[in-house]
Amino acid sequence: MPSRVREAERAFLRKAGWLFPVLGALASLAFGGPFWAWVDGQPVVLHWGSLWSGRALAGALAFGAVPAAWAWGLRIRPKRWMVMLATAGILIGAEGLLQRPGMQAALWLAARARLAPDQVFMREVCYVRLEEAAGRRPEAPAVVLVGSSQVLNGVDERLLGDWLHPTPVIRRAMFGMSPLKAMAMRSWMPFRPGDVCVQYLSEFDFTNQEAFPFSWFRPYASWRTVPDVLGSLSWGIRIRHWREVMDTLTAATTEWWRARDFIRRIVFRFQAGPPEPAAPAAPVGPAAAAAQARGELVFADAEWAAFRRLADQLKAGGVALVVFEGEVNPALDSEPRRRAREAVRKRLQDFLSDGYGRYVSREEQALGLGPEDWRDMTHLSRSGRGKLTRRMARELAPD
């Protein structure tokens, strides 16, 4: 049977080997503008006159090497170690190619163009990965905003940048980010010595959090952060989620697995069309939302452990830490929430006062927020956003 297969392969190469350079020349038409039009989900226009260019010749030569290498491989009897070595070489080469800045830009731009409007988390991952693929240009120390949607809605990044000019302001805040998720995302936070990390934290960030937020861990997995992320979790959580732990370790090893959800999105929507309609969300009235938010608050030890680990890393890296005490709509006020708020405040104050950073309490902020400053139960409105941004600018402005 093996000899018959080899003969069939040789016959194929004799009859159809000429197709490879032709395909190479045709494939060269997609490089450049047509490729980036496909990435952006725009109509692809091929210029057939390019078949007579040097690029088409290079494509033909590159593809023409495939049947030559194939025919050479049929003449030797590969040993197991040779097959394993060739396989490892292909995998390592594919990994290195995917991590090239140009390929990274193409990957995340193409994935973003093929997301549905309601895929907010995946869209934010694309934003962060594109920013990191582009690299951080200014050499001057920057202010890096870290936090959840309370930061996204509560801080006007551009206005803060105008007030702090020439100090750059970099956003690494995302919907749903908690201290544990920030630790998981640490490899994609462009901290340099002299930077200032600004966080906005309250009981909202340390209570009732998901035990193992796997959707966050995979796209940001890295061997720089996975030990700290897993070290922040109890053994019980790690054992219960052992499958997700193994998946996270694989994602930390290879970019192909780390970005698999986004690659799959590109494969199944190879040609981006009109945005998919978002699924209608069930309406939740203010009273129902308040009732849900007033539920019992359970402190998450993993979030506190992750915050401390991140603070240790920032201090070791020469990055200043400024924590603004977060706030939620007073309509959510309850006795359990007040107890949790005071407990979190005391932990943060005691920890930061030991040389880890600055804590700006609500009293010191003196924002004077009123009902008109809240958009909903947890996010500031435009007027509240202006107040918090102005107060941050005063805190962060150089003396």
DSSP-assigned letters across all residues of 15-26: HHTTHHHHHHHH
- Dihedral sign for Cα 127, 133, 137, 139, please: positive
The H or E element that residue 290 is part of is helix 286-293
Q: How many Å apart are CA 47 and CA 52, to the nearest integer?
A: 11
Please name which of 264, 266, 129 lies closest in space to residue 185, comparing C-alpha atoms: 129
Residue-level pLDDT, tens digit, the chain, 399 residues:
467 777 888 888 888 888 888 888 888 888 777 887 888 888 878 777 777 788 788 888 888 888 888 788 777 776 777 778 878 888 888 899 899 988 999 999 999 999 988 888 999 999 999 988 888 777 789 999 999 999 988 999 999 999 999 999 999 998 889 999 999 999 999 899 999 999 999 998 999 899 999 888 999 999 999 999 999 999 999 999 999 999 999 999 999 999 999 999 998 888 876 666 555 544 444 555 455 555 678 899 999 999 999 999 999 999 999 999 999 888 888 888 889 999 999 999 999 998 899 999 999 999 988 999 999 888 999 999 999 999 999 999 876
Q: How many Å apart are CA 111 and CA 103, to the nearest integer?
A: 12
Q: What number of residues does the chain have?
A: 399
End-to-end CA distance of the chain: 81
Is residue 250 classed as helix, strand or coil in its secondary structure? helix
The H or E element that residue 124 is part of is helix 120-134
Domains of the chain in sequence order: 2-77 (no CATH), 142-271+296-396 (3.40.50.1110)
pTM tops 0.85, yes or no: no
